[in-house]
Amino acid sequence: MSLLFTPMKIGKLSLDNRIIIAPMCQYSAEQGKATAWHRIHLGHLALSGAGLMILEAAAIETEGRITPQDLGLWDDVTEQALAEVINDVRKYSSMPLGIQLGHAGRKASTDVPWRGGGFLAASQGGWQTSAPSALPFNDSHEAPQAMSLARIEEVKQAFIDSAIRADRLGLELIEVHAAHGYLLHQFLSPLSNQRDDQYGGSLENRMRIVLEIFRDVRRVFPANKPVGVRISATDWVEGGWDLQQSIALSQALEAIGCDYIHVSSGGLSPQQQISVGPGYQVPFSESIKQAVSIPVIAVGLITEPEQAEAILTEGKSDAIALARGMLYDPRWPWHAAAKLGAKVKAPEQYWRSEPHEVKGLFKQ
């Protein structure tokens, strides 16, 4: 039997299989509000047969957006817009839905990727960014404001408020975004965090805000719904955040009730030197899996069903997340099930599409 298509639990949430649709920013919201694009995009992927879909990063406040077009979950208006989309998706799919909550920090106020992703000054529709220290992401960005303790408390409260909204939306999982060079990752890395207070300096201090925000979200999100954390296992820069620190963070998160760790890498510094290749981040998930007992999710250039199956059978992760690969092939779970001799959920309207050579592919 295929391990990829074996059911699993994340916390108390049951998944039909171990394929997870990773959060993918669409940069298609209007003032934080989900649009018809999200209805099409999420509805499309909710029919894929994956075990879980985690919605794209939702900004917890307007200043936390990567671009002006980012999805948000910071007020009643953004909550209602997302509720309308989710309600439509739910009519035709029973796939569990989660959401990633994040803040871009010094990587905020940029243009959408297909227009180059450059920094947007206030005159271009951008805004003043904030970060652990007043260090810009690169030479073309304006310096962020170093966050005061009062500002840190505001951000922590914004995570709490967004988590409460996520529960009201009926979402079944929250992923705290502490990866890819965004705000919480900026606190973790000594390259971007040069504070001399309780949030800077030692590893314990640099991890503090991530642990505090996790505790806050866990406290307000129902106990039967999992809360996990996405991390970048390394900055890929000497002297930056690295695997050993990621293991320490993962163990600290597990100790306070974290339900899973989603392992990515990079994004903090333009100086990063990444050796990209198939499954290039899997060694990080493998090392973290050996250090914790909670589920670990691997992601990063995992494109082939046999490759995903091998990662699981070799004990390198507990689940496989796909992002760009799922955009390229939104029926990836169907095709994986056909190759691996497994069954997968599909909507009744599509049952007639089952190829003759794989009859019995769809669960009915």
Portion of the chain with pLDDT greater than 70, in percent: 100
Q: What is the CATH number of the domain that holds 287?
A: 3.20.20.70
Round to whole Å and give the CA distance between 83 and 168. 9
Tell me the two tokens of residue 16.
Answer: 């039909």
pLDDT beyond 80 at 140: yes
Reported as a pLDDT band with limits 50, 70 and 90, residue 111 is very high
Mean pLDDT of 156-185: 98
Q: What is the dihedral of CA 297, 300, 301, 305, to 10 degrees?
A: 10
Q: How far apart are the first and last CA of the chain?
A: 19
Residues 6+ apart with CB under 8 A from 335: 305, 329
Count of structural domains, the chain: 1
Instruction: Determine the angle formed by the axes of helices 203-220 and 149-168, rounding to 10 degrees.
Output: 30
Residue 159 within a domain = yes
Mapping DSSP to helix (H, G, I), strand (E, B) and coil, where does residue 10 land?
strand
Asked whether the beta carbons of 218 and 227 are under 8 A apart, the reply is yes
pLDDT in tens, 339-359: 999 999 999 999 999 999 999
Within 10 Å of residue 301's Cβ, how many Cβ atoms? Answer: 16
Average the pLDDT over 216-238 and give the result.
Answer: 98
- Residue 157 domain boundaries: 8-363
User: How far is it, in rounded angstroms, from Cα 156 to Cα 248?
Assistant: 22
Q: What is the pLDDT averaged over residues 58-71?
A: 98
Whether 3 maps to a domain, the answer reads no
At 72 the three-state DSSP class reads: strand
Residue 364 has a pLDDT of: 72
Residue 17 counted as domain residue: yes
Residue 23: is its pLDDT beyond 90? yes
The mean pLDDT of the chain is: 97
Catalytic residue among 182, 260, 280, 350: 182
Indicate the pLDDT class of residue 275, thresholds 50, 70 and 90.
confident
CB 285 within 8 A of CB 18: no
The CA-based diameter of the chain, rounded to the nearest angstrom, is: 65
* Mean pLDDT (whole number) for 113-137: 96
Using the predicted structure, report yes or no on whether residue 159 has a pLDDT greater than 90.
yes
**Does residue 174 sit in helix, strand or coil?**
strand
Q: State the DSSP H helix or E strand holding residue 247, giving kind and residue range, or none if neither.
A: helix 243-255
Q: Is residue 347 part of a domain?
A: yes
- The residue type found at 25 is C
- Report the pLDDT value the prediction gives residue 58, as an integer from 0 to 100: 98
Q: Helix (H, G, I), strand (E, B), or coil: what is residue 42?
A: helix
Does residue 1 sit within a domain?
no
How sure is the predictor about 203, in pLDDT bands with cuts at 50, 70 and 90?
very high
% the chain with pLDDT above 90: 99
pLDDT for residue 199 = 98
Is residue 107, in this structure, part of any structural domain at all? Answer: yes
Does 89 fall in a domain? yes
Q: Using an 8 Å Cβ cutoff, are 121 and 142 in contact?
A: yes
CB 297 within 8 A of CB 260: yes
Residue 184 in domain = yes
Q: Is 182 a residue of the active site?
A: yes
What CA–CA distance (Å, rounded) separates 281 from 275? Answer: 9
